[in-house]
Structures are given as structure tokens and as C-alpha cells.
Structure 1
Amino acid sequence: MSDPLPMFPLSTVVFPGMSVPLHVFEDRYRMLVRHLLEVDDPAQRVFGTVAIREGYEVGDHGAQSVYRVGCMLQLTEVERRDDGTFDIVAVARERLVLEEMQRGADFPQGVAAVLPEPDVEVPQDLLDRARATFTAFRAAMTELQGDPYSGTLPRDPDYLAWTLSALAPLPMAERQSLLEATDATERLILVTQLLTDELRAINVIPSLPATQVARTAWSPN
């Protein structure tokens, strides 16, 4: 990608297919939204996001340190508030690699390149194991606090890998490792192991889940 890409670093890891709701109130990101709304083709209203390793989403300090692998986001819904803020929804598309972060005149920008997703043949036994592990984890969470999830898992291996990665209630570093995994096979192996570890922790201390359930919305778009 040759032209600078508008960037909106977040304090969370975003996965392809996720629907990302944001309340935009800081001046520089309000300018970013206004910039996107000037683009005639809605499919081209895109910006990038990477997770903040250290620092803040807002304020004078900004994002002090960010991960290099993130996602392209497409602006899909915008609600302009009377106070000049925006409530927006963006859908995560393909992964990106951030080569350079730039301050930009009005809002953060970055030099980024799309990270291709390899087409691999995922073994059926891995797909079955990943589904079974998540089903067991979901059942354990349901016993503790009611079912925190809705819907059914996708059949497509790539979508399944992204869905489980998005739903897994894991710390940021582990979520980032899932985003950076080479392909769906590697991602499913990793998320299955991480969910197995979480399930063991819940079984050992049933009143204290290892982590809070990730509050992310999933939309296979």
C-alpha cells in the first residue's frame, strides 16, 4: 500500500470478520471519520488498526508502542452526535503489517501492506478438536455465568480459526499471537491449546475464571 493509511490504534486486538463499535470523541479521530466520510465509494472508506502494546488510545501521550500486525477496517455505520462526536461501526477485513507510523497533519497515518492469508488444507481432526474444545469451554462458562456466546460456529476453516480467536478470553499478548499466526492450521492449533489451558484453570478454580470473557462482536463479513 503506497499511500499513507489512516490509523486508529486500539487497546485491543482485532481479528478479520469482527464488527468493531467505537465511540469517537478525540479531535484527531473525529477528523479521521470526517475524512473517511468524504470518500465517495463506501468500500474505500478504510483505515487501519493495530493493538497498543504500551500507552493510551487517547490523550496527549497517544499510542507509545504498537504491534506491527493489525487489521484493515471498513467503516460501515456512522452516527453523528450533537456534540460533534461519532458512534461508528467498522468491520475488520484482511490483516496488515505496519511498516511505519506517522503522526499526520490531522490524524495518525501509517505505511502498511496487506498481509496475505495462505490457503492451506486444515486436517479434519484438528477442526473437530478445535470445535470440541470450544464447546467444552462454552459449557464451563455457561455453568459459571450463563452462556456468554450466541450463534453457531462457521464451517469454513479460515472463518472458524478467526472466530475462535476472537471469542477466546485471552490476554492481549496471546490474542496478538493468534493474529500473527502464519495460517489457519497454526492458528487453530494455538487457540485450541490456549482454550484447553483456560478450561483447566476454570476446573481448578471454578469460582474464578482465568480471564474475563472477551466482549467482542463477530460478524463473518
Structure 2
Amino acid sequence: MESLPLFPLHTVLFPDGHLPLRVFEPRYVDMVRRCLRDGTPFGVCLIQSGEEVAAPGSVTVPEAIGCLAEIVDCNMEQLGVLLIETHGTQRFRTLEHGTREDGLLVARAETLPPDVLDCKEELLGECTAALRRIVAAVHAEASGRKLFTEPQRWHDPGWIANRLCELLPVPLKAKQMLMALPDAGMRIEIVHRYMRQHHIV
């Protein structure tokens, strides 16, 4: 990808994750319009340093590894303000990036391969059970609320690991590290260790 638009945020998007965004800065409104017109994704990256909203003289530095976001719905809240729903698809690595005149970060990037899915069955089983309990608790508190977009792949170790990473209250830097791991088994082991330490499993 030679010209991938980047949206640096104080959040980490995982593959198959759901990310709603309220877009109001002109550079990002234009980006969304181009993505919708061309049917192309943009890249979501955790901010390494800097801020989400542009300020005079400020520089925003994104993490090198992010996740492609596909726009699945878009509505105009008011003139110049877009409400979009996005779906995380594939991880990517930024090779180099620059800033356009309008302030939009654009990267030359490469997509990363899907997760290696080798993991310990016992740990996967306990993590899957923990995720089901979390989902049941959320549904009990807010009937009708959907935590995840379809399809829900309960037999996919990568999907289980990513959903737990989204839900568990760990620092953003830790979420970034987990998202960047190439191996779902490693992600499952780390998440399982965290949940055991906090008496979740």
C-alpha cells in the first residue's frame, strides 16, 4: 500500500473489532469521503506521542503497527460531522509516513499475515469460557446490546484472543503490544495469565 491514510487515535483496533467514530476535522471528513467513494480502508494506529485533534505546531507520531478499518456505515450528525461505524480487518506495518498539506498522515505500508493459530487447548478453553461469561454479564445488564459484530467466531483462537484484549482493562500500550503479536497462542497465554492473576479464570 503506497498511500494509506492514517487515523491516529488513543485506542487500539484489533482485527474483527468494531470501532465507532465521530469525525469532524476536515482532513478526516475528506478522508472518509474518499474511502467511501473508492471502497478503500484507512489505517487506525495508536498514538505514540501527540494528540488526536490537530493543534498548531503539534506533531502526532503513530505506532508502526496498526489495523485497517473498513467503513460499514456512515451518517451525517450535522453539517461537517460524520458518524461512522468501522470494522477492523487486517493488521499492517507502516514502513514510512508523511504529512499532507491538509495535515492528514499518509503511509507506505505492508499488510501483515494472519495470526498463527497454534495454542494450548486448555488455555483456549478457559479463555473462551471467560469471554462467554463476560458477554453474558453485559447482556444481563443491557438487554439487546451487542458487544461484537458478526460473524462471531467462537472456535477461532485469534478471534477469542482479540475480543478479550479489547474488553480487559489493560493499558493501551499493553493492548498495542498484544495486537502486534503474530501468534494468537502467545496472545492467549498472556491474556490467560492476566485473568488468572486477577481471578477471572
* TM-score, length of structure 1 as denominator length: 0.76
1:67 pairs with 63, 72, 93, which one? Answer: 63
Q: Deviations over 1:40-71 (max 9, x none)?
A: xx3xx211011012221112255533211110
Could you say which residue in structure 2 is the equivalent of 1:116? 113
Q: Is the 1:134–1:195 contact (alpha carbons within 8 Å) kept by the matching residues of 2?
A: no
CA RMSD of aligned residues (A): 2.8
Q: Deviations over 1:172-214 (max 9, x none)?
A: 01111110122110010011112233448xxxxxxxxxxxxxx
Could you say which residue in structure 2 is the equivalent of 1:28? 27
Match runs of 1:90-169 below 5 Å: 90-106=86-102, 107-134=104-131, 138=134, 154-169=154-169
Cα distance in 1, alignment partners of residues 13 and 43 from structure 2: 10
Name the aligned partner's letter for residue 178 of structure 1. Answer: L
Name the aligned partner's letter for residue 88 of structure 1. Answer: I
Cα distance in 2, alignment partners of residues 149 and 189 from structure 1: 26
Cα distance in 1, alignment partners of residues 67 and 14 from structure 2: 7
Cα 1:150–1:90 shift into 2, 3 Å: closer
Could you say which residue in structure 2 is the equivalent of 1:205? none
Cα distance in 2, alignment partners of residues 78 and 133 from structure 1: 33
- Secondary structure in structure 2 of the residue aligned to 1:16: coil
Name the aligned partner's letter for residue 179 of structure 1. Answer: M
Could you say which residue in structure 2 is the equivalent of 1:212? none
Cα distance in 1, alignment partners of residues 195 and 176 from structure 2: 15
1:55 pairs with 50, 53, 58, which one? Answer: 50
- Secondary structure in structure 2 of the residue aligned to 1:58: coil
Could you say which residue in structure 2 is the equivalent of 1:183? 183
Structure (1/2) with the larger strand percentage: 2
Cα 1:82–1:131 shift into 2, 3 Å: closer
- Secondary structure in structure 2 of the residue aligned to 1:38: helix
Q: Is the 1:57–1:63 contact (alpha carbons within 8 Å) kept by the matching residues of 2?
A: no
Q: Is the 2:42–2:69 contact (alpha carbons within 8 Å) kept by the matching residues of 1?
A: yes
Could you say which residue in structure 2 is the equivalent of 1:78? 74
Q: Which runs of 5+ in 1 are unaligned?
A: 201-221
- Secondary structure in structure 2 of the residue aligned to 1:97: strand
Q: Is the 2:66–2:91 contact (alpha carbons within 8 Å) kept by the matching residues of 1?
A: yes
Cα distance in 2, alignment partners of residues 70 and 112 from structure 1: 10
- Secondary structure in structure 2 of the residue aligned to 1:159: helix
Match runs of 1:3-18 below 5 Å: 3-18=2-17
Deviation at 1:105, TM superposition (A): 3.5
Q: Is the 1:52–1:63 contact (alpha carbons within 8 Å) kept by the matching residues of 2?
A: no
Sequence identity of aligned pairs in percent? Answer: 28
Q: Is the 1:133–1:192 contact (alpha carbons within 8 Å) kept by the matching residues of 2?
A: no
Deviation at 1:132, TM superposition (A): 4.2
Name the aligned partner's letter for residue 174 of structure 1. Answer: A
Could you say which residue in structure 2 is the equivalent of 1:213? none
* TM-score, length of structure 2 as denominator length: 0.82
